Amino acid sequence: MFGKKKEKSQIDKEQLELIQNAQHRIKQKKRLYVHFVLFLIGALFLVLANTVLGIGDTVKFFGIEWFVFAIFGWLFFFLYHIFNVFVTHKFMGKEWEKAQLDKLVSKQKIRIEKLKAQLEKEDIHIAKTEVYNKELNQEKQNVTMIVAAGENDAIGKDNKLIWHLRDDLKRFKTLTSGHHIIMGRKTFESFPKPLPNRTHVVITRQDNYTVPKGVIVVNSLDAALEVSKKDNQPFIIGGGEIYKQAMPIANTIELTRVHESFEADTFFPKIDASNWKETANTFHNKDENHKYEFSFLTYKRN
Ligand SMILES: NC(=O)c1ccc[n+]([C@@H]2O[C@H](COP(=O)([O-])OP(=O)(O)OC[C@H]3O[C@@H](n4cnc5c(N)ncnc54)[C@H](OP(=O)(O)O)[C@@H]3O)[C@@H](O)[C@H]2O)c1
């Protein structure tokens, strides 16, 4: 949509004519130089042909060797060539010059057309490659939302988690270790300090938001995914605002469903069964470390 504008040639007709004239003059002078070299070699050859090889050594005009007339004849022709190039600025007549010029212009036109076609082809190729790379990246990257939610989709209250489930935290650690974890500013602030062995990407609209060393700050979810693009599985770890924005983008949801309803101020968006397929489901009983029953569920986008 916002493709580059094709640049129009800035060379107008007058400039084109000047260029063509200059090219024409260069050609004329080159020819004159070649003529000069040929004349020297030719004259030497004529002298040797007569004196060394004895060709026509009996032929003389007015007592002078024939090659002297031949060399002078050629010299006259060469001088005439010089005169035409430097004095009259032509060599083979106006018609001939015009024909040469037309030929040159039409050749240039063909070349320009070819270059245009080539450029168009390259443009199309570049655009196709960009689309292909984008698709490839999207395919390769498994953007995963990881969340623990109650039966009523409750995930937090007063910027805190509502429960403490040891095995859920362990699973969170196992799955996210070594990866990028993308989060909203509020979730980041709910941690006492950054989690070890993970690259934190914090989304905020604030311009000068300060964070500990190593934490990356961005201004949108797109930018968060961009800085995580080398990670084949970046995790979106919340909270409510960020989950909502990531729902259409994510490929996987790792959900810990806590089998209880909770009073909360932050919720996970509804998982639309027409878009998502449950691929794993492991039930966990309550015990001394786990106040509630819960299940680990994996969803993949259809
Ligand atoms: N149960 C779970 O698995 C789980 C997981 C994570 C979090 N939580 C809970 O969720 C709650 C926090 O969630 P929340 O929804 O209140 O906040 P949040 O999503 O963590 O962060 C919201 C903040 O993110 C920034 N933000 C959001 N969208 C943005 C955008 N498009 N561009 C730029 N910045 C954007 C804004 O920061 P600025 O205001 O700085 O601009 C916004 O105030 C807490 O209670 C937490 O404990 C639960």
Q: Does 8 fall in a domain? A: no
For residue 79, pLDDT over 70 is answered with yes
pLDDT digit string, tens, across residues 269-289: 999 999 999 999 999 999 999
Of the candidates 269, 301, 283, the one whose C-alpha atom is nearest the C-alpha of residue 168 is 283
pLDDT at 2: 46
CB count in 10 Å sphere of residue 219: 13
Q: Does 1 fall in a domain? A: no
Pair 121, 222 in one domain: no
Q: Does 288 fall in a domain? A: yes
**DSSP H helical ranges for 87-195:** 94-140, 166-176, 185-189
Please tell me if the CB atom of residue 224 comes closer than 6 angstroms to any atom of ligand 1: no
Please tell me if the CB atom of residue 171 comes closer than 6 angstroms to any atom of ligand 1: no
Please tell me if the CB atom of residue 219 comes closer than 6 angstroms to any atom of ligand 1: yes
Q: Does 110 fall in a domain? A: yes
Mutate to test the pocket of ligand 1, among 241, 256, 263 (most ligand atoms within 8 A of CB): 241
Rounded distance between C-alpha atoms, residue 220 and residue 211, angstroms: 16
For residue 135, pLDDT over 70 is answered with no
pLDDT at 273: 95
pLDDT digit string, tens, across residues 137-150: 555 689 999 999 99
> Using CA positions, which residue lies closest to atom 38 of ligand 1?
204
Query: Which residue segment(s) compose the domain that 245 sits in?
Result: 141-301
Q: Does 30 fall in a domain? A: yes
Q: Does 248 fall in a domain? A: yes
Please tell me if the CB atom of residue 270 comes closer than 6 angstroms to any atom of ligand 1: no
Distance 290 CA to ligand 1 centre (A): 26
Pair 156, 122 in one domain: no
Q: Does 229 fall in a domain? A: yes
Pair 90, 177 in one domain: no
Task: Name the token pair of 3.
Answer: 């493709």
